Chains A and B, each alone.
Chain A
């Protein structure tokens, strides 16, 4: 476990680049991490997904799977891949300051 300073804030992060304390997250951090993930401009659709993931994780204690996101937001999997290319659930979890989704065990 290590710490990292992003967008002027020091946060805890694991080896895979996932934040380990969701309460340290800010929207500025999201924008910065998104940039590193190849998404320089987050639009309203991106934020809709990020906000869903944040609120879902607050109640469930874990990152939602891709299927959970598409079921809840009404976005198709295809649209999710367009918004967050290459592993949407993982990417959005990272940007949202949440742990790696547990979909695969």
Chain B
């Protein structure tokens, strides 16, 4: 028998048993405490496993990375801002930075724009759930599988060979010669191709949330506007869109974070070659090269880019708690 099955069974039964056992144990331990301290101590015992994991896997390493970003490759010496200087002076990082900016702008615009378009369109057809399912499905598959699906779409054979890639076969019908989509970096064409793949995966996410918000707009309100003589475009522009704005803002922040963290698609489709690199892939490459100082500095840049969004999230959360 595969020895891993033994381990897996131990984990499957053991871990829940240990965790639930822990909660029972805290109750027994609490009996030793005087009555008035019990309600004070109990929450901390319940939170302890979660706080321990959060500290060890998120807080401590973030501080560690921050410190390491000021140290050299093998973590033996303090080198001040050298790693950050390297970041702003190397062509590779600047291209990655430019690409990430393209990712943030265009992934957000594509996903939110097309998601909104689809949500509004399918609201008017009877096969709505089918259409939504089709758009939504890519969200369930891995970015690696999505990359394969699209690498095949973009497949390129030299002119004269049979074009089996769908895109090149399609443009071939119109007599256009085949294009090596993933290698052309003029106007960052290949980066846009990669962003398109990510948009194919994530548009369903934007669509589902916008669609749920769309359904919550009262039909009477829209009917009243139509009776007053507003045409469909005016109804959308003046009523539906403003009511959807808060939802669109929420979806946009999620898409911005997704774009900043983009990794799998670049790693699988181009490996960052042909000027398609992004910060997350650059950082992974530095880990595999063993330059932990520089890798840490890249991670810190990524963190700094995300911190403002963290602020927005917290403020929105507090606003919600206020109306709860």
A is bound by B: no
Interface residues of A (CB under 8 A from B): none
Q: Which B residues form the contact surface with A (CB < 8 A)? A: none
